[in-house]
Structure 1
Amino acid sequence: MKEYYDVIIVGSGAAGLYCALNLPERKRILLITKQEADQSDSFLAQGGICMLRGEDDYQNYFEDTMRAGHYENNARAVDLMIRSSNSVIRDLVERKVDFTRDETGNLMFTREAAHSQPRILFHEDITGKQITQTLLNEVKTKENIEICEYMTMVDLIEKDNVCGGIIIMDTENNVYPVYAEHVVLACGGLGGLYQNSTNFPHISGDALGIALKHQIQLEHMDYIQIHPTTLYSQKPGRRFLVSESVRGEGALLLDKNGQRFTDELQPRDKVSQAIFAQMEKEGSDCVWEDMRPLGKDVILSHFPNIYQQCLEEGYDPCKEPVPVVPAQHYFMGGIKVDLGSRTSMKRLYACGEADQSDSFLAQGGICMLRGEDDYQNYFEDTMRAGHYENNARAVDLMIRSSNSVIRDLVERKVDFTRDETGNLMFTREAAHSQPRILFHEDITGKQITQTLLNEVKTKENIEICEYMTMVDLIEKDNVCGGIIIMDTENNVYPVYAEHVVLACGGLGGLYQNSTNFPHISGDALGIALKHQIQLEHMDYIQIHPTTLYSQKPGRRFLVSESVRGEGALLLDKNGQRFTDELQPRDKVSQAIFAQMEKEGSDCVWEDMRPLGKDVILSHFPNIYQQCLEEGYDPCKEPVPVVPAQHYFMGGIKVDLGSRTSMKRLYACGETSCNGVHGKNRLASNSLLESLVFARRAADDILFGTKTEFRCTQVDIRQYEDREQILSEYHVAVRNEIERVKNSHE
């Protein structure tokens, strides 16, 4: 054990282990535990782990959680937990956690008390052990993580409310001060303070006592949950829990006469109160839980551990009820933290209980939340840029999901720029209040999209068909059953599918001057209009203020917002600044148009020289090269720039699960409108928004409710000339944009 670490984690349960695995491997981590590493309460969790089962389930899941908590929950924390659940489950599955599946290989779900529907994944009746052991096994393979068993934290090292490490003692009372940049308390609850508890006896609230000593804020210290059903025994020691899942699957609670006396699917506190009342009424030490309604097959396959423990106590749950009694189980209070798991002491945390798409052209970068301190600023920056016409819930979801998306991209080997110590570097763009944008030179979109495309090409289950154009949907009664596609020879192919995802980009191809590829021309919007699929904000079209001025025809080359974020200036024909370069895009574009009109010019000038040659060549090599090809050296002189169509904030209206108004049809990316951007997009939010809501679509496809499609015969004779069909769609889209514009006047 060393004297200094980057991070100390106190506790070896699921929270501590998962925190360690989500830190970079260059960080030196010390994980300490009072007993052996597998002696955490996480190992004892039987029932399962919840997850959101598609957007249709969100309101029910949220309400179930709030109702069980007597509406004293932190609603933002509940929302964050639910919205993050699919990402966490994906990660656990990738880490080889073996959740129970059905005969077709799909994840199986069970139901527990107070849940309105099955949404709980499980592994037999030892889910906690399965998850925690899997995480522990992985932690043991990491060279940067050191596990110290039989070590007890007895104090914090702190000064002026800033944590600098911990004091630990071994079983021989030897004392070790250990310093760290950050300390994470993941020590579990306080069951060891109770005579009857389902917890390990050494999980006894030590961290809470230390927090009291240092006047760290605590909250809800009296919120202690009693689990209604632990196996009654006259033996001393930890009480064995009979999981809520047993009642969720149909087990009954009986009095001494074999009669039901309560609703078994109420929240835990209500069931516990009913059991205590029944015990007092009949003067008994327990009540009885009857698992026989489940059937022997379910008991043996789903609850083998509970079955074996009952046998050891002399009861066969397949043949008779077993005695159960309430016992202390879980602590809902504790050290008060924010949504970033930060305590009131600084540096102290607590936790636990195809290459021709417009994505390739994105230069600037991809945003991410830089800690909880940045949340309000990032949220406000996005809302202000969008003129407060954004969907606030969608903005929150995007921001809260950003760290997970970036972790995933890094794991997929996206090569973001790093500093000399290996830390990710951040840049700033216009209308951002601080640097929060990751980048790869000035071709971030290409780096991300090429990495994803390379991986897609390795997948045997994914087939890529190039030079194919969607010309229609297959649908009946507002249920999508596939698409009609045409090749370059006008051959027509109906293709059926259980789900269709539209990720077709924007509509730049409809404009003479655009930064987009010309074939990205809003085809999906025309098809949506044909089928009366809801659209939104069709007139919200963003003009990028700085594209390289050229008299050559074709796509306009974008001079990234990052250039101005790093310090480039906008100059008039006399070399004078005429606007604030860090305003939102629409404001800067308006200022440039006004200046061009004022001086009768075709462009204004962007001066990159304040950045210095080193920054231009290292951060913006692609822009530098393009300027040279146009005859300008940005290291020596300003370059001409002009606004051009760049991004479409409107599109096919979707909810937070990326679902359109047509069943089984999803949309994500620039094709869709989820409301994140409002009337004007904040720089570098586009890549993030696309990835966040693409994952939301995938999650809903995997876990959401299914809709049956009644197969319909397609008359392919109506599809003769691809260009004629697309032309009609483009006319319809232009007309709709004009109609919406006129409706605002």
Structure 2
Amino acid sequence: MPSPAYDVLIIGSGAAGLSLALRLAGRARVAVLSKTALSETNTLYAQGGISAVLDAQDSLESHIQDTLAVGAGLCDPEVVQLVVSQGKACIDWLLERGVPFTEVESENGVHQLHLTREGGHTHRRIVHAADATGRAVETSLEQHARAHPDIALFEYHNAIDLITARKLRLGEQRVLGVYALDSRQQRVKTFRARFVVLASGGASKVYLYTSNPDIATGDGIAMAWRAGARIANMEFIQFHPTCLFHPHARSFLISEAVRGEGGRLLLPDGSPFMHRFDPRGELAPRDIVARAIDHEMKRLGIDCVYLDISHQPAEFIKSHFPTIYARCLEFNIDITRQPIPVVPAAHYTCGGVLTDRHARTDIPGLYAIGEVACTGLHGANRMASNSLLECLVFAKQAAEDILRQLPGCPDPPTLPEWDESQVTDSDEEVVVSHNWDEIRRFMWDYVGIVRTDKRLQRALRRVELLKQEIAEYYGNFRVTNDLLELRNLVIVAELIIRSALARKESRGLHFTLDYPAPDESQPPRNTVLSPEPVPPSGQGQPSSPCRP
């Protein structure tokens, strides 16, 4: 029996994926694939909030100019205008779905949304739900998605590869579906769809230290690359300046809103240092703050710096940052009385699958939204709290474009099933874990906050060898979640390295000691990588010797 066909198949269940599903539901047959539990996404862990112009003292033009300034000359002004102009409408859409944003009572007794401020913003425009905004958004959207009869949810389904007409020699290039590993049944399923949307998040797990959950392995970027889509600006990896430094505090982020509400960065002797790097101090953009911390740690040979909010009233701290307060207290750190030890960690992938203003990629029928995409909004550096806004806006853009095309789009043809007749179970799982660890360590050491051509060349030599090993392993053994993620990570690592080598300047998040200043001799340019043409089945090795 042929696999069922959906109108739209969404890979990923964060803010981008679920908001798209809800916008399509009722007018299209929608399926959502989630690698693990539906809510286990980067969105769930987002603390800060969503930027939107809601204050009478603020303006769309101010938000636009702040975004362009932080993006270091590489933002697309028309995309910035598009996204910023829809901020209020997106917040209203979330409020209609019950997202419990934090409110305050005004002097005349009217309740209104509380707005905080973060780095790069010149006004208070961050809508938030205490310090767990992502959790509030994710759980609200999940509740609506589970209740909607037109949305089929497939949890614990790890997408392996996109199925395209080019690979199958079925005429003009178009996406037709996806192969996915059902982790609970340990078998590969075929999903057919008229449209496929990548909403699979970023790739920060390619680094040893990251604020991201384990799922952030760049799966959508790697799948799009293998299918023949262009990838852009992968050198711009945002390192969040402040992750909790504690041997048992794995990947816990200290929100930028702590600095927005007066938190000060201090050296171990209690002296401030950010004023020496930028007149905006703690409210400088993330790339500047992260590099400043990295510089001081290396200069002094220290393991961390400190973020101090204890000068604020205790009740203010507990009410504004209840999650951070409680989590730190688990490690005997009372943030109402003492500073928080912090270090930078890989946080956000500003580059990704190149898309247009409707979220369309190079491959007909394939869309990309959220962190997996490179839309032109962030440029060389993402401004705080613009990411969830981007998810919501481009989910809306994609929904409208898909619904326009849906009436004239036929169902995909019957697709070949996954073939495992020539592979066996692995007898050397240690290879996967060793290669995983090696990639993340050399990426941290050689392709981190501060780079050089020498370090990048070292990383490139290692990634080329590992890519060959992993391809051979993938071709001989049955797929597992760890193997699929490793296969994607090595591609993402190579894309980051090659992009960084191609940029002979320092700009935004990409800082190299060999070219410490921006190149002013030419207009700022994006780094766009084009894959080799995808060979049809039977030619070359698009996936493995024995699989479609």
TM-score by length of 1: 0.52
Greater Cα shift, 709-718 or 587-596: 709-718
- In structure 2, distance between residues paired with 1:728 and 1:546: 29
Residue type of the alignment partner of 1:390: C
Deviation sequence 1:97-154 (CA, Å, 0-9, x none): xxxxxxx989xxxxxxxxxxxxxxxxxxxxxxxxxxxxxxxxxxxxxxxxxxxxxxxx
- Name 1:422's counterpart in structure 2: 111
In the alignment, the residues of structure 2 paired with residue 679 and residue 707 of structure 1 have an alpha-carbon distance, to the nearest angstrom, of 36
**Aligned counterpart in structure 2 of residue 559 of structure 1, from 238, 254, 258:** 254
TM alignment of 1:91-490, pairs within 5 A: 354-370=38-54, 374-420=59-105, 421-477=110-166, 478-488=173-183, 489-490=185-186
Paired position in structure 1 for 2:263: 568
Hey, which bits of structure 1, 4+ residues long, moved more than 2 A?
370-373, 704-715, 722-729
Q: Deviations over 1:477-496 (max 9, x none)?
A: 42011111112254111110
Report deviation, 1:388: 2.1
Asked if the contact 1:386–1:677 (Cα under 8 Å) also holds between the matched residues in 2, the reply is yes
Query: How many Å apart are 1:721 and its aligned residue?
Result: 1.4
Structure 2 match to 1:543: 239
Tell whether the 8 Å contact from 2:203 to 2:492 is kept in structure 1 after alignment: no
* Counterpart amino acid of residue 483 in structure 1: V
Following superposition of structure 1 onto structure 2, how do residues 14-25 of structure 1 map, counting pairs within 5 Å? none
CA–CA separation in structure 1 for the residues paired with 2:385 and 2:397? 19
Do the aligned partners of 1:651 and 1:670 also contact (CA within 8 Å) in 2?
A: yes
- Residue 527 of structure 1 and its aligned partner are, at CA, apart by 1.1
1:675 Cα deviation (Å)? Answer: 1.1
Whether the aligned pair in 2 keeps the contact of 1:469 and 1:486 (CA below 8 Å) is yes
Q: Aligned partners of 1:484, 1:698: CA distance in 2, in Å?
A: 23
Identity of aligned residues (%): 36
Q: Is the 8 A contact 1:474 1:714 kept in 2?
A: no
Matching residue's letter, 2:177: G
Aligned position for 1:738? 497
- The residue that corresponds to 1:688 in the other structure is 389
Partner residue in 1 for 2:515? none
Contact 2:117-2:123 within 8 A present in 1 as well: yes
Q: What CA deviation, in whole Å up to 9, does each residue of 1:249-270 have, x standing for no partner? A: xxxxxxxxxxxxxxxxxxxxxx
Q: Matches of 2:296 and 2:27 in 1, distance apart?
A: 63
In structure 2, list runs of 5 or more residues that go unmatched.
Answer: 1-18, 29-37, 167-172, 275-280, 421-474, 505-548
- Output one character per residue of 1:444-503: Cα deviation in whole Å (capped at 9) or x when no partner: 110011101111111011111111100011111420111111122541111101111111
Q: Secondary structure of 2:265's partner? A: strand
Q: Give the distance between the partners of 2:417 and 2:102, measured in 1 at CA.
A: 52
Give CA-to-partner distance per residue, 1:54-90, whole Å, 9 cap, x none: xxxxxxxxxxxxxxxxxxxxxxxxxxxxxxxxx9xx9
Does structure 2 retain, via aligned residues, the 8 Å contact 1:471–1:726? no
Per-residue deviation, 1:357 = 0.5
Counterpart in the other structure of 2:34: none
Q: 2:213 aligns with which of 517, 521, 538?
A: 517
Contact 2:204 2:217 in 1 (8 A): yes
> Structure 1 residues 476, 739: CA separation in 2 closer, same or farther (over 3 Å shift)?
same
2:415 to 713, 720, 733: 713
Change (3 A) 1:744 1:712: farther
Q: Which residue of structure 1 aligns with residue 283 of structure 2?
A: 582
Which amino acid letter does the alignment assign opposite residue 381 of structure 1?
D
For 1:46-61, list aligned pairs within 5 A: none
In the TM superposition, residue 739 of structure 1 has moved relative to its aligned partner by 1.1
AA of the residue aligned to 2:493 = R
- Aligned equivalents of 2:499, 2:65: Cα separation in 1: 27
8 Å Cα contact 1:507-1:522 kept in structure 2: yes
Q: Is the 8 A contact 2:41 2:215 kept in 1?
A: no
Write the deviation string for residues 538-582 of structure 1: whole angstroms up to 9, x where unpaired.
11110000010012374x111101010010100011101100100
Q: CA deviation at 1:411?
A: 1.1
Output the amino acid matched with 1:714. Answer: P
Q: Write the distance in 1 (CA, Å) between the matches of 2:378 and 2:90.
A: 18
1:592 CA displacement: 0.5
For 1:456, what is the secondary structure of its paired residue? helix
Q: Give the partner amino acid of 1:364.
A: G
Q: Quick one: distance in 1 between partners of 2:304 and 2:265? A: 11
Instruction: Name the CA distance, whole Å, in 2 between partners of 1:570 and 1:691.
Output: 32
How many residue pairs match? The answer is 399
Between the aligned partners of 2:415 and 2:60, the Cα distance in structure 1 is 51
Paired AA for residue 479 in structure 2 = D
Give the equivalent residue in structure 2 for 1:636. Answer: 337
Measure, in 2, the Cα distance between the counterparts of 1:428 and 1:724: 41
Give the corresponding residue for 2:222.
526
d(CA) in 1 for partners of 2:55, 2:397: 22
Do the aligned residues in 2 keep the contact of 1:427 with 1:435 (CA within 8 Å)? Answer: yes
State the alpha-carbon separation in 1 of the partners of residues 102 and 412 from structure 2: 50
Check 1:682–1:105 CA distance in 2 against 1; reply closer, same or farther (3 A cut): closer
SS at match of 1:384: helix
Are residues 1:651 and 2:352 paired? yes
> What is the one-letter code of the residue matched to 2:499?
V
Q: Compute the displacement of 1:710 (Å).
A: 5.8
Instruction: After TM superposition, give the deviation of residue 431 of structure 1 in Å.
Output: 1.3
**TM-superposed deviation, 1:370:** 2.8
Q: Distance in 1 between matches of 2:404 and 2:131?
A: 37
Q: For the structure 1 residues 601 and 403, does the alpha-carbon distance in structure 2 shift closer, same or farther, using more than 3 Å as the test?
A: same
Shift of 1:610: 2.7
C-alpha deviation, 1:708, in angstroms: 4.8
Partner Cα separation in structure 2 for residue 499 and residue 440 of structure 1: 33
Distance 1:553 1:428, change over 3 A: closer
2:162 and 2:179 in contact (8 A); partners too: yes
Partner of 2:320: 619
2:527 corresponds in structure 1 to: none
Tell me the residue number matched to 1:500.
196
Normalising by structure 2, report the TM-score: 0.70
Q: Does 1:701 align with 2:402?
A: yes
Per-residue deviation, residues 293-321 of structure 1 (Å, max 9, x unmatched): xxxxxxxxxxxxxxxxxxxxxxxxxxxxx
RMSD: 2.3
Query: Partners of 2:102 and 2:242 in 1: how far apart?
Result: 24
Distance in 1 between residues matched to 2:405 and 2:55, nearest whole Å: 31
Mark the CA change 1:710 to 1:635 in structure 2 (over 3 Å): closer, same or farther. Answer: closer
Give the AA of the match of 1:590: R
Deviation of 1:371 (Å):
6.0
Q: 1:430·1:584 contact (CA, 8 Å) conserved in 2?
A: yes
Change (3 A) 1:713 1:458: closer
Mapped pair 1:592 → 2:316 = no
| Aligned match of 1:101 | none
Task: Mark the CA change 1:510 to 1:616 in structure 2 (over 3 Å): closer, same or farther.
Answer: same
Q: Does the CA-based 8 Å contact 2:217-2:488 persist in structure 1?
A: no
Over residues 681-713 of structure 1, what are the superposed CA-to-partner deviations in whole Å (9 max), with x where a residue is unaligned?
111111111111011111111123745576263
